[in-house]
């Protein structure tokens, strides 16, 4: 997409978007003191799906319908995302995992598979750490629970590595620091989130054209308001608490699948073995960070094989 392209301001409602998910319905639930939006479709063993930043439940579009032929697929807008409530606190991943626990209990589910991308992967891992008795299998895509290693992320990029595409060996994720800042990002980005999105998709995707104009406008509308920016940045501002919580967690015993793009595979391959006993990590090196958009077929193949094994 040309950086100068100005998209019309269109309101993207859940009621309109669900039309792209035949067989799914919009639902809302009050859990752990917060109102969550989720979509529900298919039948079979429940598979909880958690999106990441800066997207919402619609990001699972390319994989939800095939998965719903075999599984009951429940895609949740996590606390602070999309149509879910944006409270003042509770954005540590342990609290957000409890949101998901109370949702599945409200739905009468005794155990689930859980899958998360990016921030959603952090919440999915926290759910597995804290509620292993409810976790059948865990899948994380380009995102794992914050650990002390995150404290080593560079403030400045290594010479020659900060270019138009993210460097796989020396990735520079400057937004990890920017999103720590309180109040200022809302003032800078409110009504202008499209500029950040377009830059980000170009930087972390191999083929940015796989993120359509429709999706770009949708996600800009989801994050354009100050409250949405404030709440989503809070996912990052709790990393220090998440790191402290992680020090107390036992290793994961359930089967775990990690799926890593070219920007994350090496780090997932190194880090996940420290926390999971029954682990498989698969590279999708032909894709950037947004795997559902760039390589949905490879993601589906890996997920189906893992869940069926």
Catalytically active residues, by annotation: 118, 236, 289
Which residues, at least 6 apart from 100, have a Cβ–Cβ distance to it below 8 Å? 48, 50, 76, 114, 123, 127
Rounded distance, CA 171 to CA 212, Å?
Answer: 25
Rounded distance, CA 294 to CA 290, Å?
Answer: 6
DSSP label at residue 76: E
* Torsion (CA) 84, 89, 93, 98 in degrees, nearest 10: -70
Place of tokens 């290594």: 158
HEC string of 106-126 equals HCCCCCEEEEEECHHHHHHHH
Rounded distance, CA 291 to CA 262, Å?
Answer: 10
Rounded distance, CA 59 to CA 291, Å?
Answer: 10
Which residues, at least 6 apart from 256, have a Cβ–Cβ distance to it below 8 Å? 128, 137, 138, 139, 140, 272, 276, 278, 279, 280
65 and 21 in contact (C-beta within 8 Å)?
Answer: yes
């Amino acid at each position: 997409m040309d950086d100068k392209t100005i998209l019309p301001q269109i309101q993207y409602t859940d009621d309109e978007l669900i039309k792209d998910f035949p067989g799914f319905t919009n639902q809302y639930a009050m859990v752990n003191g917060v109102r969550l939006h989720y979509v529900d479709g298919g039948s079979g063993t429940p598979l909880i799906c958690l999106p990441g930043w800066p997207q919402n439940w619609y990001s699972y579009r390319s994989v939800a319908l095939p998965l719903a032929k075999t599984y009951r697929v429940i895609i949740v807008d996590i606390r602070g995302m999309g149509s879910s409530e944006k409270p003042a606190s509770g954005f540590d991943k342990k609290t957000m995992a409890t949101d998901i626990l109370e949702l599945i209990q409200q739905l009468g589910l005794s155990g689930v598979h859980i899958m998360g991308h990016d921030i959603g992967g952090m919440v999915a891992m926290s759910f597995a750490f804290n509620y292993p008795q409810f976790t059948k299998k865990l899948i994380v895509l380009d995102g794992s629970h914050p650990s002390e290693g995150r404290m080593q992320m560079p403030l400045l990029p290594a010479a020659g590595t900060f270019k138009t595409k993210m460097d796989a060996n020396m990735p520079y994720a400057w937004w990890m620091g920017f999103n720590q800042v309180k109040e200022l990002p809302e003032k800078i980005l409110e009504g202008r989130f499209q500029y950040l999105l377009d830059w980000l998709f170009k930087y972390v995707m191999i083929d940015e054209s796989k993120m359509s104009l429709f999706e770009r406008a949708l996600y800009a509308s989801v994050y354009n308001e100050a409250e949405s920016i404030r709440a989503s940045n809070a996912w990052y501002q709790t990393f220090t608490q998440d790191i402290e919580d992680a020090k107390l967690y036992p290793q994961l015993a359930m089967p775990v699948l990690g799926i890593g793009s070219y920007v994350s595979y090496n780090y997932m391959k190194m880090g996940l073995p420290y926390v999971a006993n029954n682990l498989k990590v698969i590279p999708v090196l032909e894709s950037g960070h947004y795997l559902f958009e760039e390589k949905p077929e490879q993601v589906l193949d890996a997920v189906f094989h893992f869940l069926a094994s």
